[in-house]
Structure 1
Amino acid sequence: MSERKIETQDELLKLLNDAGIETTQATISRDIHMLNIVKASDGTGHTYYVQLQKDPAHNYDRLYLGIHNNVQTVETVQFLNVVKTEPNSSYATILAGMFDELDVPEVIGTLAGNDTLILISKTPEDAQAVNKLITDHLA
């Protein structure tokens, strides 16, 4: 993954098999989670797998770039933030994974659909802080 962009688990499975490493789709799926691998967007609508780094600053930079390239709107409703992304881009799910992996203190949970991400906070004040984090990085 550090040498090329891998877009699907099938592509990763084929590359591993071509390199003489026998594995299954189920093993890859489980290992992806254990190795802290998530999907990221290159800003052109393509997604690919990347490994989150141990350095939180690097991962926040990825989050900020993802917000900048893919978030269309964000609206706070009490203790929730409703984030809209490009329809059919899967980026709401990708962004949810990034928030989950980063363990953003003001976010206690995420829920993602096709183009909508809900960020759940404990308090309206936390939700406002999350809204500011997002709006500060919008295009």
Structure 2
Amino acid sequence: MTSKVQRQTLIVRLVGDHEVTSQPDLIDLLAAEGIDATQATVSRDLDDIGAVKVRVPGGNTVYAIPEFAPDRIAPVDQLRRVMGEWVAEVAVSGNIVVLRTPPGCAHVVASALDRSRPDGLLGTVAGDDTLMCISVNADGTDLCNDLKDFAGLD
């Protein structure tokens, strides 16, 4: 028998590894891992772990899990993947770098940036499809160029 914590840990992994667009999709992924779960159980689990729906390129909405451990440093490869998927535009004004994402995705990018702690980044503030990155320097051009590089933009 799988415990609630084990099931929720697996859900976090599955949501991170697959584009889970619905609860039935997640139930099927759990079944493939040998775990039977009802829709009601999956719904409660997603709520417990703070899963949110975000829009990905192509227009689909998928489940994503905001990070619970903000002190955990995210690897640079993960930052490149997140920014490459969800950052459409990067611009700078003074010490503020503005990033544009599809609707509902700014918080995912902000979380990845906050956890990765790139050089020169003081912090982020995210809205729905826009986030501000505050540079430690009065001129945020270097940070802007670094973030463009992470996003694969020129």
TM-score bracket, shorter-length normalisation: 0.5 to 0.7
TM-score by length of 1: 0.62
Residue in 1 that maps onto 2:11: none
- State the identity as a percent: 20
Secondary structure of the residue aligned to 1:108 is: strand
Residue in 2 that maps onto 1:85: 101
Distance 1:78 1:3, change over 3 A: closer
Letter matched to residue 28 of structure 1: I
Letter matched to residue 131 of structure 1: C
Residue in 2 that maps onto 1:101: 115
Long gaps (5+) in structure 1: 33-37
Secondary structure of the residue aligned to 1:119 is: strand
Distance 1:20 1:7, change over 3 A: closer
Residue in 1 that maps onto 2:49: 28
Tell me how far 1:59 sits from its aligned partner.
Answer: 0.7
1:72-124: CA deviation from partner (whole Å, max 9, x where unpaired) = 3x2212211122234xx212222112212222232221111122110012213
Residue in 2 that maps onto 1:124: 138
Asked if the contact 1:107/1:130 (under 8 Å) is kept, the reply is yes
Asked if the contact 2:76/2:116 (under 8 Å) is kept, the reply is no
Long gaps (5+) in structure 2: 1-13, 68-72
Distance 1:96 1:57, change over 3 A: closer
1:39-69: CA deviation from partner (whole Å, max 9, x where unpaired) = 77652133433798x87142133134125xx
Asked if the contact 1:40/1:47 (under 8 Å) is kept, the reply is yes
Of 65, 76, 97, which aligns to 2:92? 76
User: Whose Rg is larger?
Assistant: 2
Asked if the contact 2:57/2:85 (under 8 Å) is kept, the reply is yes
Distance 1:138 1:39, change over 3 A: farther
Cα distance in 1 between the residues matched to 2:111 and 2:21: 16
Distance 1:101 1:79, change over 3 A: same
Is 2:77 the counterpart of 1:58? yes
Number of aligned residue pairs: 123
Secondary structure of the residue aligned to 1:96 is: helix
TM-score by length of 2: 0.57
